[in-house]
């Protein structure tokens, strides 16, 4: 996956590549999908949830420029794959997930890897996790239509938030949001067809 999918798609950060190489992706998918765990597409986890395409996740994490002393929040962590990868890059990782079954699978996979620096928190996604804020890095584990103000407020000064932002119509754009001097700025990086996270879908537009 690293050599055939990530490197050819502009993932050049050796720390990110090493982190992806150290996590066994097949342990984070349902048993019937383990044979295709490394294909370069979003994998269905059930409950209208997906494991993000490796190339998209890797490019988002590369854009976040995670440093060893950083604290990270994964919103919509699902089964914890991205949280496991980030654990090799950051100091602490909060995996926020509201689906108890996905969180259970994630905890089990983390135990299999011997990863102790990830804390799974079961709570509504849109509220983030203020108890661990501020975060140097925030990653969304699926596309969102907007960045909730409550989660944006949990980004530290100098922090980086990365997500695929997908409007009601049009293509999703992988985007980095930074906080400098208390001001948030965003920049689109590349197009991505990542499925929307439940609870982050666009609000219906009013039509006459």
Query: Domain holding 174: CATH number?
Result: 3.40.50.150
> Where would I find the beta strands (DSSP E) of 8-167?
43-46, 49-51, 71-75, 92-97, 118-122, 135-140, 155-165
pLDDT, tens digit (0-9, with 9 covering 90-100), for 24-56:
999 999 889 899 999 999 999 988 999 999 999
Report yes or no on 19 lying in a domain. Answer: yes
The tokens describing 70, both together, are 């950083």
The tokens describing 166, both together, are 């997908």
pLDDT, tens digit (0-9, with 9 covering 90-100), for 80-97:
999 999 999 999 999 999
Residue 2's φ and ψ, nearest 5 degrees, are -60, -45
- The count of domains in the chain is 1
pLDDT, tens digit (0-9, with 9 covering 90-100), for 98-134:
999 999 999 999 999 999 999 999 999 999 999 999 9
* Structural domain that includes position 44: 2-192
Picking from 76, 87, 81, the residue whose alpha carbon sits closest to that of residue 26 is: 81
Would you say residue 180 has pLDDT above 60? Answer: yes
Report yes or no on 77 lying in a domain. Answer: yes
Report yes or no on 204 lying in a domain. Answer: no
């Amino acid at each position: 996956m690293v050599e055939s999918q990530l490197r050819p798609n502009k993932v050049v950060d050796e720390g990110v590549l090493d982190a992806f190489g150290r996590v066994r992706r097949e342990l984070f998918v349902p048993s019937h999908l383990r044979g295709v765990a490394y294909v370069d597409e979003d994998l269905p986890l059930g409950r209208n949830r997906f494991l993000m395409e490796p190339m998209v996740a890797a490019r988002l994490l590369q854009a976040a420029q995670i440093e060893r002393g950083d604290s990270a929040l994964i919103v919509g962590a699902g089964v914890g794959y991205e949280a496991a990868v980030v654990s090799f890059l950051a100091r602490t990782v909060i995996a926020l997930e509201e689906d108890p079954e996905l969180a259970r699978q994630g905890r089990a996979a983390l135990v299999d890897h011997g990863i102790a620096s990830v804390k799974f928190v079961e709570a509504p996604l849109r509220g983030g996790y203020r108890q661990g804020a501020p975060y140097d890095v925030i990653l969304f584990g699926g596309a969102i239509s907007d960045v909730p103000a409550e989660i944006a407020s949990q980004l530290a000064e100098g922090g980086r938030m990365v997500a695929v932002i997908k409007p009601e119509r049009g293509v999703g754009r992988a985007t980095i949001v930074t906080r400098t001097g208390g001001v948030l700025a965003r920049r689109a990086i590349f197009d991505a067809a990542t499925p929307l996270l439940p609870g982050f879908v666009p609000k219906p537009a009013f039509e006459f």
